[in-house]
Structure 1
Amino acid sequence: MKLMVRVVLLIILSCLVTSVSWARKDVKNSVVKIYTVYNTYDYDRPWQMRGQDSCSGSGTIIDKKRILTNAHVVADHTFIQVRRAGDAKRYTAEVEVVAHSCDLAILKVNDDSFYENADPIQIGNLPRVRDKVAVYGFPEGGDELSITEGVVSRVEHNLYSHSFAHLLTCQIDAAINEGNSGGPVMKEDQLVGVAFQAMSSQDVENIGYMVPSPVIKHFLKDIADGKYDGIPELGISTQEMENPDIRLRFGMSKTDTGALISHIDPDSPARGVLRSGDVVLSIDGVRVENDKTV
Structure 2
Amino acid sequence: MLTRHGLILHVQRDDRLHVSISGNKWRKLKYVLRQALSERATGLLSFGGAWSNHLHALAAAGHALGLPTVGVVRGEPEYAANPTLTDARAWGMALEFVDRQGYRRRHDSGFLAELAARYPGFYLIPEGGSCALALPGVAELWRELPACDRLVLPVASGGTLAGLLSARPERTVITGYAVLKGQGWLADTVCGLHPPAAGDAGWQLRLDHHGGGYAKCRDADRRAIVELSHTLNLPLEPVYSGKAMLGLFRDIEAGHYTSGSHLVFLHTGGLQGARSYTSVKRSGQAK
Interval containing the TM-score (normalised by the shorter chain): under 0.3
Larger RCO, structure (CA 8 Å, separation 6 or more): 2
Larger Rg: 1
Which has the larger strand fraction?
Answer: 1
With structure 1 as the length reference, what TM-score do the two structures score?
0.23
With structure 2 as the length reference, what TM-score do the two structures score?
0.23
